[in-house]
Structure 1
Amino acid sequence: MNDRPVFLCIAYAFPPILRSGTHRTLGFVRHLDALGWRAVVVTVKPDGEPVDAALLDRVPPGTRVIRTEWTDYIDRAKRFLLACGIGGTKSDESQGIGPETPTVGVGSLGSITRDEARGSVSADDGSDAAGATTSLHRSRSLRDWLSRALMTPDTRIGWVRPAVRAALAAVREERPRVIYSTSPYMSAHLIALRVARRTGLPWVADFRDPWRGNPFRDTGYASLDRWDDRLERRVLRRADRIVCCTPTMTDDLVRRRPFVRGKCVTILNGFDREVTGRIVPERLFPPDVFTMLHAGQFYSRRSPSVWLTALRRLMESDPAAADRFRFVQLGSTTYQGRPLTDWAQDAGVESLVHVLDAVPHGRALSLMAGSDALALAAAAGPGGHLQVPNKLFEYLMLKRPILAVCTQDSPIRAILEQAGAVARVCEPDGPQALAEAMRSLLDHVSPSGRESRSEPCPEPRASARAISRCALHPHEDDDRFTLSGDAPTTSAMEVDPQAWSGVDRFDRRHRARELAEIFAELTGDAVRASAEVRSVRRSEIPLSPSRDGAVSSASTAHTSC
């Protein structure tokens, strides 16, 4: 009989499903297994999802995985409205809902505009045409409201009931000691909420993205916004611990919901060191062509426009340099419904842009490792600073020069600094600075991805000061991170034997130990677990604290442009 403690994991993204969130959950399951915690995972059947069968090989042998169906309420509503004669056209039946766009965009029960959804369409009162138009718009408005209601908090609300049944059965059979739920999708937390209420088990709710205040979410109606707010509040009040994956998200949540203070912590994302031994770098272009690769998606306010404009300015200012520069987009092939190749053609840089569809994770790492530099795109505008693309940590693991576009208050800057990364950071509205950074990388980075000159790149030293405004500092007794004040900075791309010296702190094993400590505290084994986990942290994580407790960044090769 297996007497190891069990935790119930509720996660939509789990192998073989290939999503960015899969790696955090899989990494926790793997490393918690090594720390003595066996996982029972409730997830979905991967029908219709992108899959990577190789990820299944990394699931620990003792892990029990329960895969459930989920009900597509949008599809059911479409069919019902069509049967009643008020559901739009037959062509509407084929309209899918993007799995990563909950409560965003036009209604999925029929195509209407935002103005139509709010009924703000003018017509002459008293006319038959006006009456017919008003009736049509009311029907469309009903369809849009219902569509958005069925996507609150997200498009997987139809997973809640079957997952709750499966989770309660697993509790009876496996006797877990703690519940762990992770989002997106936020419906995972609604499942955990019901299970926690029924069983009384302690519960850790992990937020990879913010629920409220998310720049990519829009309920569209005040009534649905109030309901969405109420759902988040219920989850936050019942959860025993709340985990956010960025310090800015934690700060924002505590500001919005003061009652979570004291039970809300930050556990950053990370990388899985064990995969590096299987990576064989793969180049897409000859060695004399400088290759910059962006892995991930462009969507909403994470736009390719600044990158394409920068490429255009590089082409105009230095055609010879542009001729040996290629920008590779790996992952999504469209933006706002149009092929990225069309966007590149509109910008006049189609010869510099190479677009690849999603590939298995192992090959994606090989393509990243074979590139001369890696591009990181964060969301612009309000709320963009709350999120950090998970790919950043794999970039750090591969130790390739990084060109990042993010806001001044983004924790990306501080993470790069703490890692000692060879990196450039530019503003989302600064295509000229981005073009100059591309040109500088061409001059100072060899095709192997290492610097070819010993002197710093000619970038303004004063601009690196912006990084320090969100410097990451560890707590006194471990390597968790929070936002705090100024920290020392250095100039750009300095060749230093200690460059990348802080990368190991972002190994996901350390993050899993933080989660294991939370589990132990909630299950009454806090003293022993705290001593063991902190002992391992101190012995394995290289920290160089300064006199004031901040981590020294004297070796950082990083600038802001």
Structure 2
Amino acid sequence: MRGTYAAMGPQRILFITPNFPPYAQAGAARTGALALHWARQGHKVTVIGARIGTASGIHTEIDHPNLTTAMLPIDKSEPQVSQGRGESGRKPASKPGKLKRWLWLARQMPDRFRAYWVPRAVEKAIELGGAEAFDLVYSSGPPHSVHIAAGQIASATGLPWICEQRDLWVDNPYIERHPFLTRYYEWQGRRVQRHADAFVAVTAGARDMLRKQTGKQVVLARNGWVESDFEGLEAPPAPLDPDRLTIIHAGLIYAERRDPKALFEAIDMLGEDRHKVRAIFYHDEYGFLDQRISQYGVAESVEVHEFLPRSEVLAVERAADVLLMCRWPDPAEDDVIPGKLFEYIGARRPILATGLESGEAAKIVREGDFGIATQDAEKIAAQLRSWIASKEAGGGRIPDLPANAAMAFTRDEAFAAVDDLVERLAST
């Protein structure tokens, strides 16, 4: 670990991020980890977040004496008016015209947090003391409305502002909208970005893109795993299924993009041995997995479950034989590293990465000897047979991967570059 932490003096950090425990969505574990990382160093961290009802229960609340949170509603505070004429005395609402729909969509740009959460976040920051109470503003998105709020707070207070983009706002290959809305979305992003003092990116490709877009300093701070998350789970647990090779997918499935079809093809190739494989998914999107399961005839080997709280998912990952990471088999995925990859590395179980065989994520899997990264179903089938043999030889459990390789990918190591940036900007 670098010596930055001891040299960095206490700072008062205003952390603006809607996705924050216990209301963070599944892929947003980084924000809580970053705030706790700062708090443990002695910094005073104030988080302005959002009460996202659909995300409640995925992450546990963070408690630290140096951490304060203000979780704000994202919608109108007044109750919704009934559309029935008998209760409200009003006629049912008519379908809005095209112009009204376009105006509504524009108001929702870049996302649904802009209309009500952004002004509340700005008002809250000023109410908490603004420049008198804080040394620096740090925003983390998506949702990218957080950067609109942070920019307005920085403008009103004169505080330096660091803009962290866990996913790119501009030139993001995952964004699909009407061409006119896309142009407006990206114009808005470029307009907001130009007011930030510095940026943080989570992949080398995103870092290079942000440098090109902004001409400003961009530091790379990849996601990572947190040792404390696996506290109590260090010893090899009993296998989830001692008789079948158990493959767990604990991340998000994006229909037609992050697609497990190569695994399903490989299972189908196993013939009679397919009954020795059990793949469990904890997320589906629009029934996409069900369609794939039916298409490849692997229903006896594949299960789909609802999301589990993160604490339970980590225990499942440690007890699994193999952890599955699905990637989009498109060059646009080269610069994307799913956050789950680092959690998988921390779980120290073999990784099967399907999809694009190039890019940063595949390189980490290969160079760290964490598993296999391929879209070739025949290679996956051969690897499944090898893992089945290893499981049988190990008495029902594949041995853990070495701990030393995983330690290079902890979040504290990744956050060292952020600490350097915070210290430099806060001191000015």
TM, length-normalised to structure 1:
0.67
Q: Which position in structure 2 is the counterpart of 1:302?
A: 257
**Alpha-carbon distance, 1:37 to partner:** 1.4
- Which piece of structure 1 moves more, 240-249 or 146-155? 146-155
**Alpha-carbon distance, 1:270 to partner:** 0.6
Q: Which position in structure 2 is the counterpart of 1:405?
A: 354
Paired residue secondary structure (2:199): strand
**Alpha-carbon distance, 1:296 to partner:** 1.1
Q: Which position in structure 2 is the counterpart of 1:507?
A: 410
Query: Among 430, 441, 466, which residue is 2:387 paired with?
Result: 441
Paired residue secondary structure (1:27): helix
Q: Which position in structure 1 is the counterpart of 2:143?
A: 185
Which has the higher relative contact order, 1 or 2, with Cα contacts under 8 A spaced 6 or more apart? Answer: 2
Residues 364-417 of structure 1 show CA distances to partners (whole Å, capped at 9, x for unaligned) of: 001000011111112332522222111111111111111112424320123234
Task: Check whether the contact 2:201–2:221 (CA below 8 A) recurs between aligned residues.
Answer: yes
Q: Which position in structure 2 is the counterpart of 1:26?
A: 32
Task: Check whether the contact 2:261–2:292 (CA below 8 A) recurs between aligned residues.
Answer: no
Q: Which position in structure 1 is the counterpart of 2:244?
A: 289
**Alpha-carbon distance, 1:41 to partner:** 0.4
Q: Which position in structure 1 is the counterpart of 2:311?
A: 362
Q: Which position in structure 2 is the counterpart of 1:66?
A: 70
Paired residue secondary structure (1:190): helix
Which whole-Å CA distance do the structure 1 matches of 2:419 and 2:337 have between them? 23
Q: Which position in structure 2 is the counterpart of 1:235?
A: 192
Query: Among 1, 7, 16, which residue is 2:13 paired with?
Result: 7
**Alpha-carbon distance, 1:52 to partner:** 4.1
Which whole-Å CA distance do the structure 1 matches of 2:258 and 2:416 have between them? 35
Query: Among 161, 164, 184, which residue is 1:206 paired with?
Result: 164
- Which piece of structure 1 moves more, 366-375 or 143-152? 143-152
Paired residue secondary structure (2:71): strand
Residues 137-183 of structure 1 show CA distances to partners (whole Å, capped at 9, x for unaligned) of: xx4x5465345324321222222111111122223386110111000
Which whole-Å CA distance do the structure 2 matches of 1:215 and 1:346 have between them? 27
State the AA in 2 paired with 1:516: D
Paired residue secondary structure (2:22): coil
Q: Is 1:422–2:370 an aligned residue pair? A: yes
Q: How does 1:198-347 map to 2 (within 5 A)?
A: 198-222=156-180, 224-255=181-212, 257=213, 259-261=214-216, 263-279=217-233, 285-307=240-262, 310-315=263-268, 317-330=269-282, 332=283, 334-335=284-285, 337-338=286-287, 340-347=289-296
Which whole-Å CA distance do the structure 1 matches of 2:270 and 2:176 have between them? 42
Which whole-Å CA distance do the structure 2 matches of 1:170 and 1:179 have between them? 13
CA change 1:148–1:283 in 2 (3 A) is farther
Task: Check whether the contact 1:21–1:208 (CA below 8 A) recurs between aligned residues.
Answer: no
Task: Check whether the contact 2:267–2:298 (CA below 8 A) recurs between aligned residues.
Answer: no
Paired residue secondary structure (1:271): coil
Q: Which position in structure 1 is the counterpart of 2:112?
A: 155
Q: Is 1:16–2:22 an aligned residue pair? A: yes
Which whole-Å CA distance do the structure 2 matches of 1:361 and 1:381 have between them? 29
Task: Check whether the contact 2:390–2:398 (CA below 8 A) recurs between aligned residues.
Answer: no
CA change 1:83–1:286 in 2 (3 A) is closer
CA change 1:290–1:408 in 2 (3 A) is closer
**Alpha-carbon distance, 1:338 to partner:** 1.8
Aligned length: 407
Cα RMSD over matched residues?
Answer: 2.9
**Alpha-carbon distance, 1:236 to partner:** 2.1
State the AA in 1 paired with 2:424: E
State the AA in 2 paired with 1:239: A
Query: Among 145, 149, 156, which residue is 2:102 paired with?
Result: 145
Paired residue secondary structure (2:305): strand
**Alpha-carbon distance, 1:313 to partner:** 4.3
Q: Which position in structure 2 is the counterpart of 1:523?
A: 426
State the AA in 2 paired with 1:329: F
Which whole-Å CA distance do the structure 2 matches of 1:9 and 1:232 have between them? 20
Q: Is 1:85–2:91 an aligned residue pair? A: no
Which whole-Å CA distance do the structure 2 matches of 1:351 and 1:382 have between them? 33
Residues 393-448 of structure 1 show CA distances to partners (whole Å, capped at 9, x for unaligned) of: 11111111111124243201232345x23310103xx3343333333332345432
State the structure with more CA Rg: 1
Q: Which position in structure 2 is the counterpart of 1:195?
A: 153
TM, length-normalised to structure 2:
0.86
Paired residue secondary structure (2:20): coil
Task: Check whether the contact 1:301–1:381 (CA below 8 A) recurs between aligned residues.
Answer: no
Which whole-Å CA distance do the structure 1 matches of 2:421 and 2:92 have between them? 51
Which whole-Å CA distance do the structure 1 matches of 2:110 and 2:299 have between them? 38
**Alpha-carbon distance, 1:510 to partner:** 2.0
State the AA in 1 paired with 2:63: V
Gaps of at least 5 residues in structure 2 are: 1-8, 84-90
Q: Is 1:431–2:377 an aligned residue pair? A: yes
Residues 76-104 of structure 1 show CA distances to partners (whole Å, capped at 9, x for unaligned) of: 9x98xx966333xxxxxxxxxxxxxxxxx
State the AA in 1 paired with 2:21: P
Residues 451-509 of structure 1 show CA distances to partners (whole Å, capped at 9, x for unaligned) of: 8xxxxxxxxxxxxxxxxxxxxxxxxxxxxxxxxxxxxxxxxxxxxxx955332121111
Paired residue secondary structure (1:296): coil
CA change 1:215–1:440 in 2 (3 A) is farther
Task: Check whether the contact 1:203–1:239 (CA below 8 A) recurs between aligned residues.
Answer: yes
Which whole-Å CA distance do the structure 1 matches of 2:230 and 2:240 have between them? 22
Which whole-Å CA distance do the structure 2 matches of 1:413 and 1:382 have between them? 12
Q: Is 1:384–2:341 an aligned residue pair? A: no
Which whole-Å CA distance do the structure 1 matches of 2:137 and 2:130 have between them? 13
Paired residue secondary structure (2:47): strand
CA change 1:248–1:339 in 2 (3 A) is closer
Residues 274-320 of structure 1 show CA distances to partners (whole Å, capped at 9, x for unaligned) of: 1222338766753121101111111144333524xx434433x3323
Q: Is 1:172–2:130 an aligned residue pair? A: yes
CA change 1:144–1:278 in 2 (3 A) is farther
State the AA in 2 paired with 1:25: T
CA change 1:252–1:444 in 2 (3 A) is farther
Which whole-Å CA distance do the structure 1 matches of 2:378 and 2:227 have between them? 36
